Copies of this chain bind each other. A is one copy, B any other.
Amino acid sequence: MSSTFAITPALPGFRSARTACAPCWLNAQCLSEGLSDGENRLLARIISYRRLARDESLFCMEEPFANLFVVRFGQFKTFSLNLSGEQQVVGFQMTGDMMGMDAIGTQYHQSAAIALEDSEVCVLPFARLETLLAELPTLQRHFHRLMSHEINREQSAMLSLQSMRAEQRFAIFLLSLSARYAARGYSPSRFQLRMSRKDIGNYLGLTVESVSRVILRLNQKGWLRVVRREVEILDFVSVESLAKGLTRAEAIGSCRLQAEHHAALAMHFDLVSCLH
Protein backbone atom coordinates (compact mmCIF):
# COMPACT_ATOMS: atom_id res chain seq x y z
CA MET A 1 0.00 0.00 0.00
CA SER A 2 2.84 2.38 0.68
CA SER A 3 5.10 3.32 -2.20
CA THR A 4 8.41 1.61 -2.61
CA PHE A 5 10.87 4.22 -3.80
CA ALA A 6 14.34 3.19 -2.73
CA ILE A 7 16.28 5.23 -0.24
CA THR A 8 19.67 6.41 -1.47
CA PRO A 9 21.99 6.08 1.50
CA ALA A 10 24.86 7.68 -0.36
CA LEU A 11 23.42 11.16 -0.06
CA PRO A 12 25.32 13.44 2.32
CA GLY A 13 23.66 14.37 5.55
CA PHE A 14 22.46 10.87 6.22
CA ARG A 15 23.82 8.73 8.97
CA SER A 16 23.59 5.00 8.74
CA ALA A 17 23.38 4.39 12.46
CA ARG A 18 22.78 6.29 15.65
CA THR A 19 24.19 5.39 19.00
CA ALA A 20 21.68 6.80 21.41
CA CYS A 21 18.57 7.73 19.46
CA ALA A 22 16.80 4.76 17.96
CA PRO A 23 18.10 4.26 14.44
CA CYS A 24 16.28 6.45 11.95
CA TRP A 25 16.76 8.34 8.72
CA LEU A 26 16.20 11.89 9.74
CA ASN A 27 17.86 14.62 7.77
CA ALA A 28 19.96 17.45 9.12
CA GLN A 29 16.90 18.86 10.79
CA CYS A 30 17.08 16.25 13.50
CA LEU A 31 17.69 17.74 16.89
CA SER A 32 20.52 15.35 17.68
CA GLU A 33 22.58 16.62 14.75
CA GLY A 34 26.08 17.49 15.91
CA LEU A 35 25.67 16.30 19.48
CA SER A 36 28.38 14.28 21.16
CA ASP A 37 27.58 10.73 22.22
CA GLY A 38 27.14 11.82 25.82
CA GLU A 39 24.83 14.67 24.89
CA ASN A 40 22.95 12.38 22.59
CA ARG A 41 22.32 9.96 25.43
CA LEU A 42 20.87 12.78 27.52
CA LEU A 43 18.55 13.66 24.70
CA ALA A 44 17.62 10.06 24.05
CA ARG A 45 16.61 9.67 27.67
CA ILE A 46 13.65 12.01 27.25
CA ILE A 47 12.55 10.72 23.84
CA SER A 48 9.89 8.13 23.28
CA TYR A 49 8.18 6.93 20.14
CA ARG A 50 4.65 6.58 18.93
CA ARG A 51 3.15 4.79 15.97
CA LEU A 52 0.03 6.00 14.24
CA ALA A 53 -2.22 4.34 11.73
CA ARG A 54 -3.45 6.22 8.69
CA ASP A 55 -6.06 8.87 9.57
CA GLU A 56 -5.11 8.67 13.25
CA SER A 57 -4.80 11.96 15.07
CA LEU A 58 -1.48 12.91 16.68
CA PHE A 59 -2.82 15.95 18.50
CA CYS A 60 -5.96 18.06 18.35
CA MET A 61 -6.63 21.75 18.44
CA GLU A 62 -6.95 23.29 21.88
CA GLU A 63 -5.43 20.21 23.44
CA PRO A 64 -3.01 21.16 26.25
CA PHE A 65 0.52 21.30 24.97
CA ALA A 66 2.97 18.79 26.37
CA ASN A 67 5.11 17.37 23.58
CA LEU A 68 6.81 18.30 20.38
CA PHE A 69 6.88 15.65 17.69
CA VAL A 70 9.34 14.81 14.94
CA VAL A 71 8.28 12.58 12.07
CA ARG A 72 10.38 9.41 11.90
CA PHE A 73 8.57 7.98 8.92
CA GLY A 74 5.26 8.54 7.22
CA GLN A 75 3.52 11.82 6.54
CA PHE A 76 1.15 14.13 8.35
CA LYS A 77 -1.06 17.03 7.55
CA THR A 78 -1.55 19.83 10.04
CA PHE A 79 -4.55 22.10 9.94
CA SER A 80 -6.28 24.78 11.94
CA LEU A 81 -9.62 26.56 11.68
CA ASN A 82 -10.01 29.86 9.91
CA LEU A 83 -12.29 32.64 11.11
CA SER A 84 -15.25 31.03 9.40
CA GLY A 85 -14.66 27.83 11.33
CA GLU A 86 -13.58 25.86 8.30
CA GLN A 87 -10.59 23.60 8.17
CA GLN A 88 -7.43 25.22 6.85
CA VAL A 89 -4.51 22.98 5.94
CA VAL A 90 -1.35 24.55 7.30
CA GLY A 91 1.27 22.15 6.05
CA PHE A 92 2.34 18.65 5.16
CA GLN A 93 5.07 17.13 7.32
CA MET A 94 7.44 14.37 6.33
CA THR A 95 10.44 12.62 7.83
CA GLY A 96 12.44 14.96 10.05
CA ASP A 97 9.82 17.68 10.21
CA MET A 98 8.84 18.92 13.64
CA MET A 99 5.26 19.50 14.71
CA GLY A 100 3.66 21.29 17.63
CA MET A 101 5.88 24.36 17.77
CA ASP A 102 2.90 26.64 17.32
CA ALA A 103 1.66 25.52 20.74
CA ILE A 104 4.65 26.73 22.74
CA GLY A 105 3.33 30.25 23.01
CA THR A 106 -0.15 29.52 24.28
CA GLN A 107 0.49 26.11 25.85
CA TYR A 108 -2.43 24.84 23.80
CA HIS A 109 -2.24 23.37 20.34
CA GLN A 110 -3.24 25.86 17.71
CA SER A 111 -3.53 23.20 15.07
CA ALA A 112 -4.24 19.51 14.70
CA ALA A 113 -2.15 16.80 13.09
CA ILE A 114 -3.40 13.70 11.30
CA ALA A 115 -1.34 10.88 9.80
CA LEU A 116 -1.73 10.66 6.03
CA GLU A 117 -0.31 7.15 6.12
CA ASP A 118 0.97 4.74 8.75
CA SER A 119 3.64 6.75 10.53
CA GLU A 120 5.91 7.01 13.53
CA VAL A 121 7.05 10.05 15.49
CA CYS A 122 9.58 10.93 18.14
CA VAL A 123 7.85 12.33 21.20
CA LEU A 124 9.74 15.18 22.88
CA PRO A 125 8.35 16.30 26.25
CA PHE A 126 8.80 20.03 25.95
CA ALA A 127 9.34 20.80 29.63
CA ARG A 128 12.22 18.35 29.82
CA LEU A 129 13.53 19.48 26.46
CA GLU A 130 13.59 23.09 27.63
CA THR A 131 15.66 22.14 30.64
CA LEU A 132 18.04 20.25 28.43
CA LEU A 133 18.36 23.19 26.04
CA ALA A 134 19.78 25.33 28.84
CA GLU A 135 22.41 22.67 29.51
CA LEU A 136 23.41 21.83 25.96
CA PRO A 137 24.27 24.93 23.89
CA THR A 138 24.54 22.88 20.71
CA LEU A 139 21.06 21.57 21.20
CA GLN A 140 19.75 25.02 21.98
CA ARG A 141 21.25 26.44 18.84
CA HIS A 142 19.77 23.64 16.80
CA PHE A 143 16.37 24.07 18.31
CA HIS A 144 16.30 27.78 17.57
CA ARG A 145 17.37 27.04 14.04
CA LEU A 146 14.45 24.67 13.67
CA MET A 147 11.95 27.20 14.89
CA SER A 148 13.44 29.82 12.62
CA HIS A 149 13.10 27.51 9.65
CA GLU A 150 9.50 26.96 10.52
CA ILE A 151 8.95 30.71 10.41
CA ASN A 152 10.61 30.90 7.02
CA ARG A 153 8.57 28.04 5.67
CA GLU A 154 5.37 29.95 6.15
CA GLN A 155 6.70 33.22 4.89
CA SER A 156 8.32 32.21 1.67
CA ALA A 157 5.80 29.68 0.56
CA MET A 158 2.48 30.96 1.67
CA LEU A 159 2.62 34.66 1.19
CA SER A 160 3.85 34.55 -2.34
CA LEU A 161 1.17 32.05 -3.35
CA GLN A 162 -1.54 34.60 -2.89
CA SER A 163 -0.81 36.63 -5.95
CA MET A 164 -0.24 33.63 -8.19
CA ARG A 165 -2.33 31.81 -10.71
CA ALA A 166 -3.52 28.30 -10.08
CA GLU A 167 -0.93 26.65 -12.31
CA GLN A 168 1.88 28.58 -10.70
CA ARG A 169 0.72 27.68 -7.19
CA PHE A 170 0.54 24.03 -8.06
CA ALA A 171 3.96 24.11 -9.73
CA ILE A 172 5.51 25.59 -6.60
CA PHE A 173 3.78 23.03 -4.43
CA LEU A 174 4.98 20.19 -6.60
CA LEU A 175 8.56 21.44 -6.74
CA SER A 176 8.58 21.90 -3.00
CA LEU A 177 7.50 18.30 -2.54
CA SER A 178 10.07 17.22 -5.09
CA ALA A 179 12.88 19.03 -3.30
CA ARG A 180 11.83 17.62 0.04
CA TYR A 181 11.76 14.08 -1.30
CA ALA A 182 15.16 14.67 -2.87
CA ALA A 183 16.57 15.95 0.42
CA ARG A 184 15.47 12.69 1.99
CA GLY A 185 17.06 10.49 -0.61
CA TYR A 186 14.01 9.78 -2.74
CA SER A 187 13.54 10.51 -6.39
CA PRO A 188 12.77 14.17 -7.05
CA SER A 189 10.91 13.32 -10.24
CA ARG A 190 8.76 10.37 -9.19
CA PHE A 191 6.79 10.21 -5.97
CA GLN A 192 3.37 9.73 -4.50
CA LEU A 193 1.02 12.40 -3.31
CA ARG A 194 -0.05 11.30 0.11
CA MET A 195 -2.76 13.93 0.39
CA SER A 196 -6.09 14.22 -1.37
CA ARG A 197 -6.85 16.77 -4.08
CA LYS A 198 -9.08 18.39 -1.54
CA ASP A 199 -6.19 18.89 0.90
CA ILE A 200 -3.98 20.20 -1.87
CA GLY A 201 -6.67 22.64 -2.91
CA ASN A 202 -7.26 23.72 0.65
CA TYR A 203 -3.55 24.26 1.18
CA LEU A 204 -3.13 26.21 -2.04
CA GLY A 205 -6.34 28.18 -1.78
CA LEU A 206 -7.96 26.49 -4.77
CA THR A 207 -11.05 24.38 -5.22
CA VAL A 208 -10.78 20.67 -5.90
CA GLU A 209 -12.05 21.27 -9.41
CA SER A 210 -9.31 23.81 -10.10
CA VAL A 211 -6.63 21.45 -8.84
CA SER A 212 -7.98 18.73 -11.06
CA ARG A 213 -8.04 21.01 -14.09
CA VAL A 214 -4.53 22.31 -13.44
CA ILE A 215 -3.21 18.76 -13.33
CA LEU A 216 -5.08 17.98 -16.53
CA ARG A 217 -3.51 20.94 -18.31
CA LEU A 218 0.02 20.17 -17.16
CA ASN A 219 -0.48 16.56 -18.17
CA GLN A 220 -1.66 17.59 -21.62
CA LYS A 221 1.35 19.85 -22.01
CA GLY A 222 3.49 16.81 -21.33
CA TRP A 223 5.22 18.38 -18.33
CA LEU A 224 3.80 15.90 -15.85
CA ARG A 225 2.39 12.42 -15.76
CA VAL A 226 -0.05 12.26 -12.88
CA VAL A 227 -2.14 9.15 -12.51
CA ARG A 228 -4.25 9.08 -9.41
CA ARG A 229 -1.73 10.01 -6.73
CA GLU A 230 1.37 8.91 -8.61
CA VAL A 231 3.38 11.85 -9.87
CA GLU A 232 6.13 11.95 -12.44
CA ILE A 233 7.73 15.25 -13.38
CA LEU A 234 8.72 14.96 -17.03
CA ASP A 235 9.91 18.48 -17.79
CA PHE A 236 11.60 20.12 -14.84
CA VAL A 237 12.66 23.18 -16.81
CA SER A 238 9.12 23.98 -17.80
CA VAL A 239 7.66 23.34 -14.38
CA GLU A 240 10.33 25.47 -12.74
CA SER A 241 9.83 28.32 -15.13
CA LEU A 242 6.12 28.07 -14.52
CA ALA A 243 6.81 28.32 -10.80
CA LYS A 244 8.91 31.40 -11.39
CA GLY A 245 6.26 32.93 -13.57
CA LEU A 246 8.31 32.72 -16.74
CA THR A 247 7.36 31.19 -20.04
CA ARG A 248 9.46 28.28 -21.19
CA ALA A 249 11.06 30.50 -23.81
CA GLU A 250 12.15 32.97 -21.17
CA ALA A 251 13.56 30.15 -19.07
CA ILE A 252 15.57 28.76 -21.98
CA GLY A 253 16.74 32.24 -22.85
CA SER A 254 17.97 32.86 -19.35
CA CYS A 255 19.81 29.56 -19.44
CA ARG A 256 21.94 30.71 -22.31
CA LEU A 257 24.03 32.81 -19.98
CA GLN A 258 25.61 30.23 -17.74
CA ALA A 259 26.26 32.58 -14.88
CA GLU A 260 22.67 33.70 -14.72
CA HIS A 261 21.43 30.16 -14.96
CA HIS A 262 23.48 29.01 -12.01
CA ALA A 263 22.50 32.01 -9.99
CA ALA A 264 18.86 31.27 -10.72
CA LEU A 265 19.22 27.61 -9.81
CA ALA A 266 21.07 28.44 -6.62
CA MET A 267 18.37 30.89 -5.68
CA HIS A 268 15.72 28.33 -6.44
CA PHE A 269 17.21 25.68 -4.25
CA ASP A 270 17.99 28.09 -1.48
CA LEU A 271 14.40 29.15 -1.44
CA VAL A 272 13.10 25.63 -1.74
CA SER A 273 15.29 24.31 1.03
CA CYS A 274 13.85 26.96 3.25
CA LEU A 275 10.50 25.36 2.65
CA HIS A 276 12.16 22.34 4.30
Listed in ascending order, the chain A residues whose CB lies under 8 Å from chain B are 57, 60-63, 79-85, 87-90, 101-106, 110-112, 114, 130, 133-135, 137, 140-141, 144-152, 154-156, 158-163, 172, 202-206, 243-246, 267-269, 271-276
Given contacts A130-B141, A161-B162, contact A155 B110 (CB under 8 A): yes
CB of B268 within 8 A of CB of A83, answer yes
Q: How far is the CA of A103 from the CA of B151 in the complex (A)?
A: 9
Given contacts A140-B134, A162-B204, A276-B57, contact A84 B152 (CB under 8 A): no
Q: How far is the CA of A159 from the CA of B160 in the complex (A)?
A: 11
Q: Which of B57, B148, B160 contacts A88 (CB 8 A)?
A: B160
CB of B81 within 8 A of CB of A271, answer yes
CB of B152 within 8 A of CB of A151, answer no
Chain B residue contacts of A83, Cβ below 8 A? 160, 172, 243-245, 268, 271
Q: Which of B80, B145, B162 contacts A105 (CB 8 A)?
A: B145
The chain B residue sitting closest to A131, CB to CB, is B137
Chain B residue contacts of A271, Cβ below 8 A? 81, 83, 85
Give 10 closest A-B pairs by Cβ, nearest first: A162-B205, A154-B154, A82-B160, A105-B148, A104-B148, A57-B276, A84-B245, A61-B272, A105-B149, A105-B145
